[in-house]
Amino acid sequence: MVFGPPSTGVVLAGRGWCLQGEIVGVNPPVRAACTDMAWVVRFAILTLMPNYRRVRHAGATFFFTVVTARRRPLLATAEAVATLRACVAEVRAHMPFVIEGWVVLPGHIHAIWTLPFDDDNYATRWGRIKAQFTRRCSLPHRSAPGCHAGLWQPRFWEHLIRDRGDFATRMAYLHYNPVRHAHVARVIDWPYSSFHRCVQRGIYPADWGASEPRAGTVAAFGE
Ligand code: NI
Distance (angstroms) between ligand 1 centre and the Cα of 109 equals 7
3-state secondary structure of 150: coil
Residue 85 within any structural domain of the chain: yes
Residue 223 within any structural domain of the chain: no
Summarised one tens digit per residue, pLDDT across range 20-36 is 333 233 233 333 333 56
Band the pLDDT of 172: cuts 50, 70, 90: very high
The domain total for the chain is 1
Beta strand 98-104 pairing with 157-160: unpaired
- The DSSP-derived string for 151-206 is SB-SS-EEEE--SHHHHHHHHHHHHHHHHHTTS-SSGGG-SSBTHHHHHHTTSS-T
Average model confidence (pLDDT) for the chain? Answer: 77
Nearest to 51 by CA among 162, 180, 190: 162
Residue 2 within any structural domain of the chain: no
Residue 188 within any structural domain of the chain: yes
Given a contact cutoff of 8 angstroms between Cβ atoms, the answer to whether 35 and 18 are in contact is: no
96 Cβ neighbours under 8 A, 6+ residues apart: 22, 24, 29, 116
* Region of residue 14 (left: phi > 0; alpha: psi -120 to 50; beta: else): left
Residue 1 within any structural domain of the chain: no
Distance (angstroms) between ligand 1 centre and the Cα of 216 equals 13
Distance (angstroms) between ligand 1 centre and the Cα of 108 equals 7
Distance (angstroms) between ligand 1 centre and the Cα of 189 equals 16
Question: Can you tell me the mean pLDDT for 127-134?
Answer: 94
Percentage above 70 pLDDT, the chain: 67
Question: Can you tell me the mean pLDDT for 136-160?
Answer: 71
The pTM of this model reads: 0.72
Band the pLDDT of 134: cuts 50, 70, 90: very high
pLDDT of residue 150: 82
Nearest to 61 by CA among 12, 105, 2, 108: 2
Asked whether the predicted pLDDT for residue 137 surpasses 70, the reply is yes
Q: How far apart are CA 185 and CA 26, in angstroms?
A: 43
Nearest to 198 by CA among 65, 39, 13: 39
> Which CATH number does the domain housing residue 103 bear?
3.30.70.1290
Residue numbers of the domain that contains 108: 7-217
pLDDT of residue 50: 45
* Residue 102 β-bridge partners: 111
Residue 135 within any structural domain of the chain: yes
Residue 60 within any structural domain of the chain: yes
Residue 42 within any structural domain of the chain: yes
pLDDT of residue 46: 62
- The DSSP-derived string for 12-43 is E-SSSEEEEEE--SSSPP------HHHHHHHH
**Active centre residues (catalytic):** 192
Summarised one tens digit per residue, pLDDT across range 67-97 is 999 999 999 999 999 999 999 999 999 999 9
Distance (angstroms) between ligand 1 centre and the Cα of 164 equals 21
